[in-house]
Every structure is written in C-alpha cells, then in structure tokens.
Amino acid sequence: MTPSTTSPDGARRALRALTALLFWLLVWHLAAGVLDWRMGGRGNELLLPYPLTVLTSLLELAATASFWQTVALSLLRILAGLAAGTLLGVLLAAATSASRWAHRLLSPAIQVVRATPVASFIMLVLLWVYTGRVPTVIAALMVLPVIWANVSRGIGETDPQLLELARAYRFGRWKTLRLVYLPGALPYFTAGLTTAVGLAWKSGVAAEVLCQPRFAIGTQVFKARNTLETPQLFAWTITVILLSLLLEGALTAAIGRLGRRRGG
C-alpha cells in the first residue's frame, strides 16, 4: 500500500499544506491592503497587487493561445537543457570515477562551472549561441555539476564488500555496473535530479529574461516589468513556480514507482 490523500496521514499532510497556503495568502492580502492604503489607492496595480488581482490576470493570460505556446516552448527549452545536463553529468561522473587522470583534468572545469555566476554564463553563451538556444545551454550547464557531484559520490561510496563479492563471482564490467554500481548510485542520482529540476527552471528563465527569445516566459516577465504590469509579472512568476512544482512532483512520483517496481 502507498500513502495517498485519502489515507489519514495523507489527509493531514494535505490539510497542513492548505493551511500554510491560506496563511501566506492572507499575509499577502493584508500587506497589499496596507500598501494600497499608504499610497492612497495607487499601490495595488503598481507595487503589490492583491492575490485576487493576480489570479484574475493569470486566468486572463491562460485564456489566450499565446500563453500556452509560450509555456510549451519554455518548457521544451528547459527540459532539453535538463536532459542534456543530466546525461553529460552522468557520463563525466563515470569517467572521473573510473580514471584518476580524467578526474584531474575534468573536475577543475566542472568546479569552475559550478562557481561561475549564472548571469556571467548567460552573457558569455549569448556571444556564441543562437538566442533561442541560450536557455537550454544555461540550464544544462547549471544542472551538470549537481548531477556529476551526486553520481560521483554514489559511485565512490559503493560498498567495497559488494565489489569484492563481484570479483569473487567473476562478474564482468557490465554485470558489475548493472548489479553493483547502478543500485548504489541511484539514490544519489535521484536526489541530484530532484534538485536539478528547480535549478534548471530558475537558470533557464533567468536566461530567457536576458536573451529574450520570441516566445518565452522570461521574455514576458521582462516585458511586464518594463511596462509596470505588476499583476502580469506576478502571474508569470506564479506560472514558473507551478511548472517547477509540477515537474518536481512528476519526477518524485516516477522515482517512487521505479523504487516500488525494483522492490517488488
């Protein structure tokens, strides 16, 4: 049996989440009301709109075809970057774990990628790559060090007794990889991937804000800010948050199903 929202524990978790959400919506509403009062009725649309105003703006945007086209293309760019960064991170982790020379040569470059500010990378990549592909490249670069570090740690912490057992039974390289290394590294990989989803979204949208592809959430955020359409700015920001949460939820559910399948 798996926990669900219909079970007592699941219902309590859902109630706690709903209570927290309502609390912060109330805080937001009160803060908007105080600001609106202090500015003589001019603060609502300009600085901090009410939650209902933002919801109305979001529903108006969602009623247009361009909204869904923008969301779909941003999602495609960022998922492509997430996939590329994940694949490259796994391959580099395998290479640096298998070879000391590979580790000496590659790990400093990966550490540089991790330490470099996102904005600096965006400006550099914008010089070399077509505008519409910059968010994909940036998302991949931000994801790569996270996946590399987690998978490398998972490989490095493989149980020596299992490796000794594999040698005793004369497992080949592929069989050792499949039966020893993969199960040991999988929890580290899934933890890194869960973190990487949110990181890919934040960095990808930041890249869209700066390079402004034609159909992109980041472009709409930039336009809303420049035209002082604060409710739309909040609405697009909430869209990013919801998409990130949906992706993380889908990933968590997929990982849970995979774990139950392996356990069964």
Looking at the structure, do residues 5 and 119 belong to the same domain, yes or no?
Answer: no
What is the per-residue pLDDT for 166? 66
Which domain, by its residues, includes 224? 51-263
| Residues near 75 by beta carbon (within 8 Å), at least 6 away in sequence | 243
Note whether 43 and 96 are same-domain residues.
no
pLDDT tens for each residue of the chain, 264 residues long: 444 445 667 678 888 888 998 999 999 999 888 888 877 666 567 788 899 999 999 999 999 999 999 999 999 999 999 999 999 999 999 898 888 898 899 989 998 988 888 888 898 888 888 888 999 999 999 999 999 999 988 887 777 777 667 667 667 667 666 667 677 778 888 888 888 988 998 899 999 999 888 889 999 999 998 888 899 999 999 999 898 888 888 887 777 776 666 555
Helices marked H in the chain — which ranges?
A: 8-38, 43-46, 51-62, 65-98, 100-115, 118-128, 134-156, 160-168, 173-176, 182-211, 217-226, 230-263
pLDDT of residue 2: 45
Residues in the chain: 264
Based on the domain organization, do 198 and 92 belong to the same domain?
A: yes
Give the closest residue to 196 by CA, choosing from 150, 156, 254, 133: 150
Together in a domain, 3 and 91? no
Does one domain contain both 158 and 37?
no
Q: Which two tokens stand for residue 179?
A: 């039966």
Determine contact, residues 53/45, Cβ cutoff 8 Å. yes
In this structure, the answer to whether residues 63 and 32 fall within a common structural domain is no
Shared domain for 198 and 126, answered yes or no, is yes
Identify whether residues 25 and 85 lie together within a single domain: no
How many angstroms separate the first and last alpha carbons of the chain?
Answer: 12
What local confidence, expressed as pLDDT, does residue 143 receive? 94
CB 201 within 8 A of CB 143: no
Q: Looking at the structure, tell me whether residues 199 and 231 fall in a common domain.
A: yes
Q: Do the Cβ atoms of 210 and 119 come closer than 8 Å? A: yes
In the chain, the number of structural domains is 2
> How many CB atoms are closer than 10 A to CB 202?
16
Task: Write down the pTM of the prediction.
Answer: 0.83
Q: Which of 149, 71, 87, 64 minimizes the C-alpha distance to 115?
A: 149
- Whether residue 153 sits in one domain with residue 25: no
Q: Are residues 23 and 72 in the same domain?
A: no
Indicate whether 91 and 158 sit together in one domain.
Answer: yes
Residue 148 sits in a domain of what CATH number?
1.10.3720.10
